[in-house]
Structure 1
């Protein structure tokens, strides 16, 4: 069976996201946030998106004028349930949780007591940023990844569709050498797009540091955005050019 080439431009990847979608955004705080995808969302003026993110990172400033904060444990449990194909997830420690329409106390069949459960949250689309992928959509991380990517994997598997931006598109042979660090398999990914410095101004593990002083400006596309930053500034942020296999 012939494998599908899932490599797309940033523009075409974001065009797959419908107005009104529930959109889950990967990354944590200011690490490995899919900023190239987020900026393209803003360029295409996607509307009425419901954003799901574990931390209030810089990406929300581009997409949402306001937001509602919530308990991270509850969000993680709801996404975990969806990633496992479950309708709900029990909450191990729930005494201090604020209950809402996503939680329910149910009978525990083993103890006879009650347990608080959270309903599964299944976003329409998840966008994440990673280190490498091949054109078929197999996504791997660097050997010395600083920020644990487990939550990104959970987020992706909870969603109905996954779009991944990566620092590099590499060969199938390179992916095979990195198989132990596989984040997502090709069958879990709708499309991949190559976006060098695609997390900027957030950091990307040991590839480049956070650019705390950069003031985001409007650019026509990702290449224009990088030209605006300039090679010298990008070089000052870069921690290394070649990844370890």
Structure 2
């Protein structure tokens, strides 16, 4: 009885702050324990993208939106790296727990569906934010790219981590096997990232593709970070904030509903 009273006391009202902190800490330590794979490897991948594009078409490519092609490309590569890793953090954590059968360790404690959602999102956002810091530092040292609007850049990094973290948790709950998770990554996440203005300005697209690009929340994430980093963008960063926030809330609400009902989580 005393333990139960202590547990309730730690909720500080309607929120189990101790449980939420513990889950967020677990999700953060999970990727920090293998930082060479989760932080160093994405930096190397981003560097390889920039190197290959620079060698292949950089010297012959004219300026894009008034800036050198490599400078235009760098923020897109940075955001693509952030969102892919935020997605991977939440989706892999959920799928591994389900496959190994220890998801009960997360569902049994006195955590509400919203607290579970926020705990997982904290890990995805933290991983995405740390990767952004690492890549931004490398861009400053190697290319001399310093954020023109640091606050806006940080907001879009957090929005990117939150949106793709929520999408990753949604996919992780939906998938029961690793091959299902791979299919979601290959046929949904990768196209969203690559067909969103990462390597080009959407102003150069035909009208149909132009409109489709503007229906993709990832486009606004990349475009907003590009504005924060180099001061140019295809659309208003403030419109992008609204759209990305709305998209995050929608995906988060759907994921919360899955957690609340135990969809594919409870036998």
- So what's the TM-score if we normalise by structure 1? 0.20
Larger Cα-atom Rg: 2
Higher helix share: 2
